[in-house]
Amino acid sequence: QQQVKQSPQSLIVQKGGISIINCAYENTAFDYFPWYQQFPGKGPALLIAIRPDVSEKKEGRFTISFNKSAKQFSLHIMDSQPGDSATYFCAASCSDSSYKLIFGSGTRLLVRP
């Protein structure tokens, strides 16, 4: 049972472009939605996270957009750089279930120079 569906599986963007990765969830009890970034040979690291009391959160070039009614959230990377090339995972959890994170299947992003 895949509770968090992520798309696309892979994405190629030119330097300076906008990268958009989408996720959809099923469990309406989820109240914490992080994005993790993973470089080859490394463990995932938290990039940015949002809670459902806001519709958007921005940190530098990274923005999460959240649509509670549609049960969807997305990551936007503005002015994409080759150094952003990595695998991105969305995730979701309930704060009252010990924050057990359920991850999406991942998106491999390649930013071409």
Partner 1 sequence: NAGVTQTPKFQVLKTGQSMTLQCAQDMNHEYMSWYRQDPGMGLRLIHYSVGAGITDQGEVPNGYNVSRSTTEDFPLRLLSAAPSQTSVYFCASRLEGGLSTGELFFGEGSRLTVL
- Which positions touch partner 1 (CB under 8 A)? 4, 6, 9, 32, 34, 36, 41-46, 49, 89, 93, 95, 98-106
Comparison of 60 and 113: residue with beta carbon closer to partner 1? 60
Token pair for residue 32? Answer: 């914490």
- In the complex, the smallest distance separating the C-beta of residue 80 from partner 1, rounded to whole angstroms, is 22
Q: Of 73, 59, 87, 74, give the one whose Cα is nearest residue 31.
A: 73
- In the complex, the smallest distance separating the C-beta of residue 103 from partner 1, rounded to whole angstroms, is 4
Comparison of 67 and 95: residue with beta carbon closer to partner 1? 95
Comparison of 13 and 23: residue with beta carbon closer to partner 1? 23
Using CB atoms within 10 Å of the CB of residue 61, give its burial: 0 to 12 exposed, 13 to 18 middle, 19+ buried: middle
Token pair for residue 36? Answer: 């993790």
